[in-house]
Structure 1
Amino acid sequence: MQYKKNHKSTNKHQDSTPAQVLMVQGTTSDAGKTTLVAGLCRLFARRGVKVAPFKPQNMALNSAVTIEGGEIGRAQALQAIACGLPLQTDFNPILLKPSSDTGAQIIVQGKALDQMEAKTFFGLQGGGANEKTGYRVKAMSAVLESFTRLSASYETIFVEGAGSPAEINLREGDIANMGFAEEVDCPVIIIADIDKGGVFAHLVGTLALLSESEQARVKGFVINRFRGDISLLQPGLDWLEAYTNKPVLGVLPYLHDLHLDAEDTIVPPLKAASEGKEHRHKLKVLVFIFPRMSNHTDFDPLRLNPQIEFHYVSMQTQSQSTSLQLPAADLIILPGSKNVRADLAFMRQQGWDIGLAKHLRYGGKVLGICGGFQMLGLLIDDPTGVEGEAGETEGLGYLSLVTELKPNKVLRQVSGQLSLLDEQAQVKGYEIHCGISRILNTQQQPVTLEVDDELLNDGILSSDGQVLGTYLHGLFDSPEACSLLLKWAGLNQATAVDINGIREEQLNRFADQLAQNLDIAQIESILARR
């Protein structure tokens, strides 16, 4: 049965869409949209349904590389894995990667647009209302194009919204929440995180700020991360259903130690990883948090490893920064960055460069990944303003390379071999960077990658063996390579965490919870009514 809207649409897309579609929207960011969609994808995939994820527009610095050499948000990568699918750009056709407080790189169907391309593509010439309209029209066109291809190939599509649908200031140009749902005429469920407090106000308030037709397509609520006795919550659930005339489709429990890829939130280290009787034998690892830090999921295999005492180093206050003392560490990691020169300036402002020099004087190891690798070199040149204001910045000077930022990104999935300590290990990951680095002196390049049937060298190991840099993301995801890196850092009997195995276990664990705590029959009925 065709789901009926309360308004007359001029879009004919819904009439030709064979797939069943359900959109998950949230009362806030981090309400649980990504996880719920991933869990539903895994649950339906286990039942033999040909299912795919979709997110019209995403804003995140954590991204992944697809099989065709495109770029999508980390959330859709997780959801694709939950479906058992290779990554595709159609899963996330619009991705915004913030490069400053007011600017972002726009990625359309996997391809990053430079500033001039973006102005041409979206018609962003006049500013004001014209700018919003131009963006929405062109972006929605790309979104519907990707969605149509998926709809023709899959039986069921679970769509993830972004932030909240009740952001009044963003409604005019919305393509991420109800703007999309109205275009394709799909039902919506709304999830709220009770752990944040005020869950009933969140749900009722969100619903109240929607238009009449938008309210009509909301088919139920899900409450996330509940702890305690469900009977104490039941009066509130009964009131909510009576007040809104919409069902509560489930109450999901707070799951301790649920380890799934986080897209935006930097997950704190586990207490178990920094406490215990063997504390003095753990490898101490520090990772700097930059304002535009990207791909922090690189470090999940370290954060979850019980042999590692893992810490993030975050911004200090102005009074602290002049006398900063970094915690003692065996390994300090400089992560990826969406704005390398600005994050390097931030690092110096915090005094981390002084702490890094001291760390090296005492024999510690340093690893730079992607943007962090560029920072370890001699110079970063951005002649055309790819990541901000045009100009150049002197690097930290630990590796003999010069980097020039270019508009065209290097995006590819790669595999190869890591060579350290006269040992070799297989490694697999991905590259995602704007910079092209030129090595000035012959130095050891520890990574050999297979790219288009060619062998390419990647990264640099300093002559004293203390500083290592590479463009390879996912470096610790390969257990064999992770063990070798931990040995290089000082952990002689290292046992790596299999992050891919953990991800599979956790996806199945969460899908089991959905089967137990969600009204799946009612969700199937909502899908069938479309």
Structure 2
Amino acid sequence: MIDLSLCGWLRAGLAGRGGEEQMTRSIMVVGTASNVGKSIVATALCRILTQDGYRVAPFKAQNMSLNSAVTPSGREIGRAQAVQAEACGILPSEHMNPVLLKPTGDMKSQVVLQGRPVGTRSAKDYFYDEKNELWQAVTESYRYLAERYEVVVIEGAGSPVEMNLKARDIANMKTACMADACVILVADIDRGGVFASVVGTLQLLAPKERALVKGIVVNKFRGDPSLFEAGRTWLESYTGTPVLGVLPYLQNLGIDEEDSVSLSSERYHGKPRIEGSIAAAVVRLPHIANFTDIDPLFLEPDVHAYFCDQPDDLADADVVVLPGTKSTLLDLDWLHKNGWSEAVLRAVERGSCLLGICGGFQMLGTRVVDPLHLESELDSGAGLGVFDATTTIQADKYTKLVQGNFAGAFEGIPVEGYEIHMGTTQFHSQQTPLAFTRPVYDSGNVASPVEEGCVSADGKVIGTYLHGVLHNDAFRVAWLNVLRREKGLPLQTAQDSRARQAETFDRLATTVRTHLRMDQLYNVVFGGD
């Protein structure tokens, strides 16, 4: 931890020279490539600066991800920024991620502007768009945060020097210049080529952009970091930029991931299955979205959770999960054509638990229809028929934070989560709702609870629109205990996932503090050149 005298000096630096009014400072984390650890480094900085007493907010101008979250105002942003807001101890805001691109199944993306969908664009159209409206939203949202917080931690996207895209790139150095940010360049040594990636990135930056880069962070180092001392010296000598730290390779942090690239990481490979464990199989849909809904299963001590690549992977599953998807009909068609539908239904017949979340819930009905072709060119498709219901894809997107109580086999357990879906599900026969919920930030708190989802009489088969449903600790344990009783396994009690998340943030911050030259970091950010 930084001592109080240094904190006092830094706070004085924030006030500016000559007693001027406090000025917001910005730190921007950019990477030499995608998946080098920008989100984790940005999250660590959010936590560290918050621990040191600053009012901190995260920001990412443009995000491309199918992992999203809902703000208290009912707006949609990238999941990574919601997690970073949590690390800062604040509520998420649509201004933390003003432009969100959600890829669909036909080389197009839904464009979400300050939390609201504004249309769907092809990659080519988006690339050639002048982006004036988008950039206006970026600058407006940054100013909103800068007026309210002392430090804004900005995360870049991909690489800042994709030369075929750079002139129209609003996510990286254009944002850095707008915010006059102190830029930290993160490189992944685990994938190899760290010297070329750092030097090449710096070389391709324009002079005014290069001047903003104040430090280099080498990430994902395995082994003794002192072994990289010669590499540090060479990088500093060749580039003239200080290496602020060499961070270790961190496994299984338990912090929500930004996009599906991370599904190949060690975190999602699952623990080796041991005798007496519960096998939880997650179907890896082609257009999988919000897969972080499944994260709590990977943290249960007696659960062997794993993503499936072929139907035979469900043969021994005690739990089958159909997660969210950006293209329900396309993924439903994929299930039917590749033998997954039969495998899922066989698992239910032999007594496995089944959980469908959002798009996965829609697939459990008898039919899904898309009359406006909002998600694909398909008009409709037969569902798995687990529930007697029809889902109609509609233009209006429903985004709400909700809370309430579970019903049916889990009656009385409190529930909270968030909904993000384009479509409504209508049941044709009597069904037991999973829960009764209402919006968290309902004006005047007068909305009546409404039925949400569906649950079988024995509690083993569930369909729900609630993202984060498994993050409700008491419910998750009660649901899994149904299986534990059947298998003769010891029953578990609920753990506090929020406390565990806070501990994870603190552990990350401690690790990064240990391996970063904190005095140099604070000097380049707050102390001037």
Task: Answer whether TM exceeds 0.5 for this pair.
Answer: yes
Alignment-derived partner of residue 458 in structure 1 = 452
- Does the CA contact (< 8 Å) of 1:420 and 1:484 recur in 2? no
2:284 is the alignment partner of 1:296:
no
Opposite residue 71 of structure 2, the aligned amino acid is T
Q: TM-score, normalised by structure 1?
A: 0.89
Residue segments in structure 1 that go unaligned for 5+ positions in a row: 1-15
Opposite residue 506 of structure 1, the aligned amino acid is T
The alignment's C-alpha RMSD in Å is 2.2
- 1:70-85 matches, within 5 Å, as 70-85=75-90
- Does the CA contact (< 8 Å) of 2:315 and 2:343 recur in 1? no
**Match among 344, 362, 382 for residue 374 of structure 1:** 362
Structure scoring higher RCO (CA < 8 A, sep ≥ 6) equals 1
- Does the CA contact (< 8 Å) of 1:385 and 1:391 recur in 2? yes
Give the C-alpha shift of residue 258 in structure 1: 2.0
- Does the CA contact (< 8 Å) of 1:80 and 1:87 recur in 2? yes
Relative to structure 2, which stretch is displaced further, 387-396 or 89-98?
A: 387-396
1:173 to 1:491, Cα distance in 2 relative to 1, 3 A: farther
- Does the CA contact (< 8 Å) of 1:17 and 1:151 recur in 2? no
- CA offset digits 1:484-516 (Å, max 9, x no partner): 221234456133443322221111011112222
Give the C-alpha shift of residue 310 in structure 1: 1.2
- Does the CA contact (< 8 Å) of 1:17 and 1:152 recur in 2? no
**Take 2:255 and 2:459, find their aligned partners in 1: how far apart are those partners?**
34
**Match among 319, 330, 336 for residue 342 of structure 1:** 330
Opposite residue 345 of structure 2, the aligned amino acid is A
Opposite residue 192 of structure 1, the aligned amino acid is A
Alignment-derived partner of residue 463 in structure 2 = 469
- CA offset digits 1:53-95 (Å, max 9, x no partner): 1000000010111000001111101110010000110000000
Opposite residue 471 of structure 1, the aligned amino acid is Y
2:502 is the alignment partner of 1:508:
no
- Does the CA contact (< 8 Å) of 1:57 and 1:95 recur in 2? yes
Alignment-derived partner of residue 308 in structure 1 = 303
2:52 is the alignment partner of 1:47:
yes
- 1:397-436 matches, within 5 Å, as 397-421=385-409, 423-436=411-424
1:402 to 1:227, Cα distance in 2 relative to 1, 3 A: same
Alignment-derived partner of residue 217 in structure 2 = 222
Alignment-derived partner of residue 345 in structure 2 = 357
Other structure's SS at 1:192 match: strand
**Take 2:63 and 2:410, find their aligned partners in 1: how far apart are those partners?**
43
1:53 to 1:391, Cα distance in 2 relative to 1, 3 A: same
2:161 is the alignment partner of 1:166:
yes
Give the C-alpha shift of residue 132 in structure 1: 4.4
**Match among 181, 200, 212 for residue 186 of structure 1:** 181
Give the C-alpha shift of residue 207 in structure 1: 1.2
1:132 to 1:333, Cα distance in 2 relative to 1, 3 A: closer
**Match among 96, 100, 104 for residue 95 of structure 1:** 100
Alignment-derived partner of residue 39 in structure 2 = 34
1:288 to 1:135, Cα distance in 2 relative to 1, 3 A: farther
Residue segments in structure 2 that go unaligned for 5+ positions in a row: 1-20
- 1:105-124 matches, within 5 Å, as 105-115=110-120
- CA offset digits 1:75-126 (Å, max 9, x no partner): 10111001000011000000001112511111000001234xx79xxxx9xx
- Does the CA contact (< 8 Å) of 2:409 and 2:459 recur in 1? no
2:239 is the alignment partner of 1:244:
yes
Give the C-alpha shift of residue 421 in structure 1: 3.0
- Does the CA contact (< 8 Å) of 2:67 and 2:78 recur in 1? yes
Give the C-alpha shift of residue 418 in structure 1: 1.5
- CA offset digits 1:166-200 (Å, max 9, x no partner): 11111121100012112333221100111111111
- Does the CA contact (< 8 Å) of 1:301 and 1:498 recur in 2? no
1:467 to 1:256, Cα distance in 2 relative to 1, 3 A: closer
Other structure's SS at 2:190 match: helix
1:77 to 1:375, Cα distance in 2 relative to 1, 3 A: same
- 1:386-405 matches, within 5 Å, as 386-389=374-377, 391-405=379-393
- Does the CA contact (< 8 Å) of 1:18 and 1:152 recur in 2? no
Opposite residue 483 of structure 1, the aligned amino acid is V
* % identical equivalent positions: 39
Other structure's SS at 1:233 match: helix
Give the C-alpha shift of residue 518 in structure 1: 1.2
2:291 is the alignment partner of 1:286:
no
Alignment-derived partner of residue 14 in structure 2 = none
Other structure's SS at 1:280 match: coil
**Take 1:155 and 1:366, find their aligned partners in 2: how far apart are those partners?**
46
Alignment-derived partner of residue 21 in structure 1 = 26
Opposite residue 84 of structure 1, the aligned amino acid is G
